[in-house]
Amino acid sequence: MNLGLLEQYAEVAGGDVVDHLRQLAAPLAGARVLHVNSTKEGGGVAEILREMIPLTQALGLDARWEVITGDQAFYECTKSFHNALQGSREVISESRLHAYEETNIENAERLRTALAEADFVFIHDPQPAAMLSSIPERRGKWIWRCHIDVRRPHRPVWKYLRTWVAPYDASIFSLPEYAQPLPHPQYLIPPSIDPFNEKNCELPPEEVAAVRERFGLDAELPLVVQVSRFDRFKDPVGVIEAYRLVKTLTPLQLVLAGGGATDDPEGETVLEQVRRAAEGDPNIHVLLLPSDAHRTINALQRAADLIMQKSTREGFGLTVTEGMWKRKPVIGGDTGGIRLQVIDHYTGFLVRTPEGAALRTRFLLHRRDLLEEMGERAHRFVRENFLITRHLREQLTLMLALRYGSGDRIEVGG
């Protein structure tokens, strides 16, 4: 058993939390758990699995991670699925659907033994979802884990995918808004952050200072940071508007940090709008960072006085969790998963307008005592609710529930 790893988490999350995980895992000792997704590198799912697998193994389960492979037609098809599940009106040709089905059959064949013998199979997102029908001899429970915001899916595409997903034993969605009518239990498990990865680990003050210097930030001037891709639903222009409203009374600087240019044409347009809105103000820093700039983002969040996430539409909002973990209050849009994390007036403020964001920014910059108090509460709130240990606890609970019964109260171990 990898006790060292568990002890590290015990130091951050609490010894009782890790004890609880051990107790929950005990009846599942040796269980073969197989996670399947479509990429080993990049993206939130790979990141979660990279952290979750060793922890699960440390608890005595036989956890494995397999990645499916496919050709360009397959990935074009699954990219269309992804967009359609998020509401885009995608038309997917028969040939692409054929590529999707064939790729799933081929991968199921390649992984047949592992898939058939696993006690629990977690299939992540739509890419490998059709494999289940190729493994009629499966002996374990199959769970479809949907990481996508599917509150308003494009119906024809969902109807197609539903035929593959419906035969699963259970599915998992991140928020209740995402759950869809399906003939099996739909579990709700919000995402989490890992306190030890590059995005969230403690950084030496010199590293934070170096990042400040690299981007020409003034250490003496209050700093507000929003980290998110340049997307209109993240309202970066609204954040600049809020900054300008604050600036007339309280000097400050703003960082808008986001990922690099994507294949999303709208992203380019929004970035252009943001650059225009920021033009001529040396205290607005629009930073286009590579997708692996995790330590830089970490340092920027740590350098900030407060974090902004003024989205008008949001999934869960892990950048909010990350900011809160760094003991920063968050001024967040009153939407989606931000509401689960920002408890108005306690861990930050929920706002609907640039004016609201400006008002709360001014308040916090003038009430340093409350800013620090809120930051401490925010950190505690994340520690108790949104760390990977909680995520793992819910995953173990789900496995126990699926193995030991389907009632409201499930006795484990007689």
Partner 1 sequence: MENCGRPAHDVTPFAARDCALISLATGITAENLRELRDGLMRAPESSLYHHFWGRLLRPHFDEPEYLNDFASWVHHSLREKALAERMSLIDPTDYSDMEDVRHELVELIEQRLDESESVPWAKVDQRFYFIRAQLVLFDTGLRVEHPAELSALLPRFSTSSLYYHFIDARRRNQSHCDDFCSWLGAYGDQFSDLTQRLAGLDPYFSSLHETRHRVAEIFAERFGPPDEEWDDVNGPGRPEIQP
Whether 130 and 100 have beta carbons less than 8 Å apart is answered as yes
Query: Is the sign of the CA dihedral 267, 272, 275, 277 positive or negative?
Result: negative
Residue 2 binds partner 1, judged by CB under 8 A = no
CB-based contacts of 157: which residues, under 8 Å, 6+ apart? Answer: 80, 81, 84, 85, 90, 92
Q: Which of 133, 185, 232, 233 binds partner 1 (CB under 8 A)?
A: 185
Our finding on whether 181 is near partner 1 (CB under 8 A) is yes
Using rule CB under 8 A, residue 401 touches partner 1: yes
**Which listed residue (30, 204, 290, 407) binds partner 1 by CB under 8 A?**
407
Query: Taking contact as CB under 8 A, which single stretch among the options 15-23, 38-46, 102-110, 233-241 is the one that binds partner 1?
Result: 15-23
Told to check if 177 binds partner 1 by CB under 8 A, we report: yes
Q: Does 6 bind partner 1 (CB under 8 A)?
A: yes
Binding flag, residue 187, partner 1 (CB under 8 A): yes
Among 335, 349, 356, 374, binds partner 1 (CB under 8 A): 335
Q: Kindly tell me the burial class for residue 162, based on how many C-beta atoms sit within 10 Å of its own C-beta (0-12, 13-18, 19 or more).
A: middle
The CA distance from 17 to 10, in Å, is 7
Span of 48-56, 238-246, 264-272, 391-399 interacting with partner 1 by CB under 8 A: 391-399
Specify the residue, 80 or 174, whose C-beta has the smaller distance to partner 1.
Answer: 174
Element of type H or E holding 390:
helix 388-404
The per-residue DSSP string of 168-196 comes to: SSEEEESSGGG----SS-EEE----B-TT
Asked if 65 is part of the footprint of partner 1 (rule: CB under 8 A), the reply reads no
DSSP summary character for residue 72: H
- 88's CB contacts (< 8 A; 6+ apart) are 154
Rounded-to-integer distance, Cα 233 and Cα 298, Å: 23
Query: For residues 10 and 115, which CB has a smaller minimum distance to partner 1 in the complex?
Result: 10
What DSSP string runs through 229-263?
Answer: -S-GGG-HHHHHHHHHHHHTTS--EEEEEEE---S
In angstroms, the CA 50 to CA 53 distance is 6
Cβ closest to partner 1, residue 81 vs residue 173: 173
Exposure class string for 254-287: b at 16+ Cβ within 10 A, else e: bbbbbbeeeeeeebeebbeebeebbeeeebbbbb
Q: Which residues contact 238 (CB under 8 A, 6 or more apart)?
A: 310, 312, 353, 354, 357
- According to DSSP, the β-strands at 170-173 and 186-188 are parallel
On whether the CB atoms of residues 29 and 57 are closer than 8 A, the answer is no
**Sole binder of partner 1 in the list 30, 183, 265, 413 (CB under 8 A):** 413
The distance of closest approach from Cβ of residue 36 to partner 1 in the complex, given in angstroms and rounded to an integer, is: 22
| Structure-token match 């760390």, residue found | 387
Write the interaction track for partner 1 spanning residues 29-58; mark x where CB under 8 A is met and - where it is not: ------------------------------
Of the listed pieces 208-216, 238-246, 262-270, 400-408, which binds partner 1 according to CB under 8 A? 400-408
Candidates 27, 43, 54, 87; binder of partner 1 (CB under 8 A) is 27
The Cα 179–Cα 174 span in angstroms is 8
Of the pair 179, 245, the CB lying nearest partner 1 is at 179
Residue 408 binds partner 1 (CB under 8 A):
yes
Binding mask 338-377 for partner 1 (x = CB under 8 A): --xx-x--xx------------------------------
The answer to whether residue 22 forms part of the interface with partner 1 (CB under 8 A) is yes
Judged by CB under 8 A, the stretch of 116-124, 132-140, 179-187, 322-330 that binds partner 1 is 179-187
Instruction: Kindly write out the interface string for residues 157-176 of this chain, putting x where it contacts partner 1 by CB under 8 A and - elsewhere.
Output: ----------------x--x
- Interface residues with partner 1 (CB under 8 A) are 3, 6-7, 10, 15-20, 22-24, 26-27, 173, 176-177, 179, 181, 185-190, 335-336, 340-341, 343, 346-347, 381, 384-386, 393-394, 396-398, 400-401, 404, 407-413
